[in-house]
Amino acid sequence: MPKPGLPLAGIRVAEFCHVVMGPTCGLVLADLGAEVIKVEPLEGDHTRKLVASGAGFFPTYNRNKKSFAVDLKAPEGREAVLKLVVSADVLTENFRLGAMDKLGFGYDALRRLRPELIYCSMKGFLAGPYEHRTGLDEVVQMMGGLAYMTGGRYGPLRAGASVNDVMGGMFGAIAILAALHQRAATGKGQYVQSALFENNAFLVAQHMMEGLASGKPVPPMPDRTRAWAIYDNFKTRDNELVFVGVVTDTQWKIFCDAFGLADLLADPALATNPQRVEARPRILPIVTEIFGRMAKQELMDRCEALGLPFAPIAKPDDLFDDPHLNASGGMTPITLPDGRKTRVPNLPIEMDGVRFGTRLDLPRVGEHTRELLASLGYGADAVNALVTRRIVRAA
């Protein structure tokens, strides 16, 4: 059971989810202390078996959960899951439209048995002309303007992470938390939703508003005019890249003083940020030449001492050894299905100085089936019979 004192301790969640969006929602709730029960088929959630770019999905989004492996096609399996749902505070699902209704676990059926249930569906689209379409992160990035904004002159290009899936799961969790708060006042559950396309629209809203504000077509990110004169990747003496930004008038003065650019600082034509943006063709060659004489670490050390924004250009696997993540509780331990021990990034939040980490390792298929059936009133003989008849699977 969740440790006492965690924010969502005592909340039980039945999770009917796979891939990224639904499991992300469950991960947020689980890390915050909810008892999240992953209902999966006897062979296990198919996400466990994904390869290539999908190989990281299961280990990233399924810690702190319990596995209940059951055959939902069998009447006894559906009966056991129904008992589980009736005991739950929250149900989450991200299967195709209508799939849960066919199984008998749609919201209209369940709310009659459990009026307090908060039922969260995460789909490709909310209500509207597109709601019956199959939605994927890449689909909505293409149709929702994000791929256009990312690719620019290179053509439409999806973002380098499952941004809509992850944020769609986060917004699902936000809706659930809001519904739990309302339930505390009303005693009633409700149906809540989040979706990929609407999430994508929320992400690109800043560009929609930029177009209105400027009265001009919005250029994609690779083709954009920077909002600041210095806001670029620069090549160093050792042929490495470092991003450096100078984004305020105060930083401009610090930068010019530190790098011997008194003439630029004194130039009235460069007194304001809009003026400096217009003068980028003049400023950038000077800065590029200065930074090109410095080694990568030397440049980063100088920027850090000056308080200027900077960043090395990291690859994902570099983060395993990132000193900040590893010193600040940013990584949490897990055991991969093949037995290897590793660490995965934690929830990016802190509450009262506390980070949330791994309480339960990645579950084996059916690892908690016996425990959960016992909590639902099944005796040992009844559980053994269900296992023998392959109605459920117990690890």
- What SS3 string covers 190-223? EEEEEEHHHHHHHHHHHHHHHHHHHCCCCCCHHH
| Count of all residues that appear for the chain in the document | 395
Could you report how far apart the first and last alpha carbons of the chain are, in Å?
A: 19
Task: Return the structure tokens found at 200.
Answer: 């994508």
Task: Return the structure tokens found at 332.
Answer: 């949490």
Q: Which of 101, 165, 232, 267 is an active site residue?
A: 165
Nearest alpha carbon to residue 104 among 122, 126, 86, 130: 86
Q: Which long-range contacts (CB under 8 A, 24 or more apart) does 146-155 make?
A: 146/200, 146/203, 146/204, 148/220, 149/204, 149/207, 149/218, 149/220, 149/221, 150/220, 150/221, 150/222, 151/220, 151/222, 152/219, 152/220, 152/221, 152/222, 152/223, 152/224, 153/220, 153/222, 153/223, 154/222
SS3 139: helix
Angle made by CA atoms 11, 27, 10, in degrees to the nearest 5: 10
> Which residue type, as a one-letter code, is found at position 15?
E
Task: Return the structure tokens found at 136.
Answer: 């994927």
Residues 45 and 20 sit within 8 Å (Cβ to Cβ): no
Task: Return the structure tokens found at 154.
Answer: 């290179």
**267 catalytic per annotation:** no
Active site residues: 165
